[in-house]
Amino acid sequence: MRGRQGKARGRGGTRRGRRLAAGCAGLAVLLGLGGALPGQQASALGTVGMAGSGAAATGLAGVPRPGPPAAVGSFADPATYAFSEDARTVDGAVSTADAVELVPGRSYRSTLPPSGKVHYRLRIDDTTNLYASVTAVPPAGRDAPVTDGVKVSLRNSDGRSCDLDTATFGAGGSPHPVTAWALREISPRRSSCDDAGTYYVTVERADPDGRNSSPDAWETEITTVTEPAPGTNGATSAPEAWNSASPSPVTGEPRTRAGGAGFALATAIGEGVWRDAIRPGQTLFYKVPVDWGQQLHVTAELGGSDPDAGGYVAAALDLDLYNPARGRVDDLGLGYGGGQKSRSLAPLPPVAHANRYSSARQITATRFAGSYYLVAHLTPEVADDFGDGPVPLTLRVGLDGVPQDGPGYAGQPVPADVFTVTGDDRKVAAGGGSAGDGAAYRVLAAGGIGTGSALLVGLGVWTLVARRRAAP
C-alpha cells in the first residue's frame, strides 16, 4: 500500500497453541509424512518468523542479520513468511564498489539494516528489460509508521536514476511483508538507461526514523526478471478503448483453498469463488494465471456473524495485486465491524504488451501475461475487538476475454516461463490439489490442545489424507 494514513492499536496475545502445532508439523516432516499442506508449507531453511530478530550476526558486507527462524510451518505464527527454498543468501553492500552480483532469474535472501542503504550489482545488455523486486519482511508488531516500508531504486554506472518505487505499510500501520520493484526499460523515455553495462539495485527503509519504527534489521527476498524485445514491431501506444465498467462480482459455490505464506508458495486460484480464513497479523498469498488478452476482476470479502459486535477497524484488510514480475498493480483496503464487508479492485485493462506505454500505473503494470499475485493481510488490530481467531475471507475472481498470442519475443525471458500461462497452470488454478487438508491442519494449529494430543491428531489427519489419496 502507498500513502494511506492510519494507526493500529496494540495488545498482546498467546502463541502457545501455535508453537505446539509447529512441533507437530516438525515431527510429521521427520517421519516422512510431509510438513504443511499445499500452499502453506514453509521449510526450516526457507521460513522466517517475524517475532523479533534475536541476537544479530554481522555479514561480510557489514550488515547485521536477524537470528534464526522461530518456528517451522506457516501455521506456527500468523506473521511467518516463506522464502523461496532455492534462494541464495547474499549480503547487501554499504558501498556500490563491494556490491555482489545478482543473476537474473534467481531468488536471493538478504538483510536490510535499520538505517542506511544496501547495494547489489547487475549486468545488463542493451536490448533487454529488467525488473528487480524486493520483498521486505519486518519483525511482527502492533504499531508501525504508516509511511515506513521499503524503497527500491535502480541506477546505471554513472549513478543516474532509472527507476524508483516505494511500498509502505499503509493505513493499518501493521508490519507485514511489503514489495517494491524497480525496472530498467529500453524506452525513449528512459534513454539514459539504454546502454549495456553495470547497474545497481539500492534498497533502504522508507521511513526508518518514524514513530515506533522497528529498530531491528529486516530480512528481504530479491528477485530479478528479464524480458526480451518483441520479435516484430508492434503498437507504440497504450490501447485507448477497453471495457472499464465494473462487472458484478463472480457468484457460485465457494471452494476452500488455503493461501500460501509467501510468493514462492502462493496458492493457485482461477476464476471462481474461493474461501479461506485469515488470522489477525497474517499475510496470505495467492496467484491467478492471466493470459494475454484477459482481464482480471477481483472482489474481497470479510465474513462475520455479528455486525453489532460493538467494534470497528477502519483498515482491517489490505489486499495488494502484483504482476508476474512482482510489480504492484493495485490495492484495496477494507474495514471490518464483525459483519459481512466487501470491496472490489478497480477495473483493469486486458493484459497487453502495449499497456506499458500508458501513463497510469495500474495500466502500465499489466504489461505481461503470467501469474498475478493477490496478497491479503489482516491487521492485528482486529484481535482487539473480535479476538485472535480466524476471520472468513472470500475472494471472487473473474477473468474476461479469450487468451491471445503474446508479442512474440525475440529471445527468451528469464525465468523462461515467467510470462507464460500453460494448460497445466489453468488446471491447477481451477481446483487441483487438496486445499481442504491445509484448512484442517490450520484448525489444529489454532487450538490450545496438549502436545501429545496434537501429535496424535496431526498424525491421524495425515494418515486419513494418505488413505483418501490412495483410494481408487
Q: What is the pLDDT along the chain (472 residues), one digit of tens a residue?
A: 543 333 333 333 333 333 334 344 443 433 333 334 444 444 333 555 544 433 334 444 544 444 433 333 334 467 689 999 999 999 999 999 999 999 999 999 999 999 999 999 999 999 999 999 999 999 887 778 889 999 999 999 999 999 999 999 988 888 999 999 999 999 877 778 999 999 999 999 999 888 878 889 999 999 999 999 998 888 889 998 899 998 999 999 999 999 999 999 999 999 999 999 999 999 999 999 999 999 999 999 999 867 777 789 999 999 999 999 999 999 999 999 999 999 999 999 999 999 999 999 999 999 999 999 999 999 999 999 999 999 999 999 999 999 999 999 999 999 999 999 999 999 999 984 433 334 433 333 333 333 334 433 443 443 444 444 444 4
Strands 218-227 and 255-256 turn out to be unpaired
- The rounded distance, in Å, linking the Cα atoms of 429 and 275 is 14
Grid cell in block for residue 46: 526457507
- The rounded distance, in Å, linking the Cα atoms of 372 and 295 is 11
| Alpha carbons within 13 A on the beta-carbon side of 409 | 19
Neighbours of 472 (CB within 10 A): 2
Residue among 4, 85, 1, 6 at smallest CA distance from 314: 6
Q: Cα–chain-centroid distance for residue 155?
A: 25
Asked whether the CA dihedral 422, 85, 155, 218 is positive or negative, the reply is positive
Q: Where are the beta strands (DSSP E) in 279-351?
A: 283-290, 295-302, 313-322, 328-336, 341-344
Neighbours of 251 (CB within 10 A): 9
Using alpha carbons only, give the angle 138, 78, 449 rounded to the nearest 5 degrees: 145
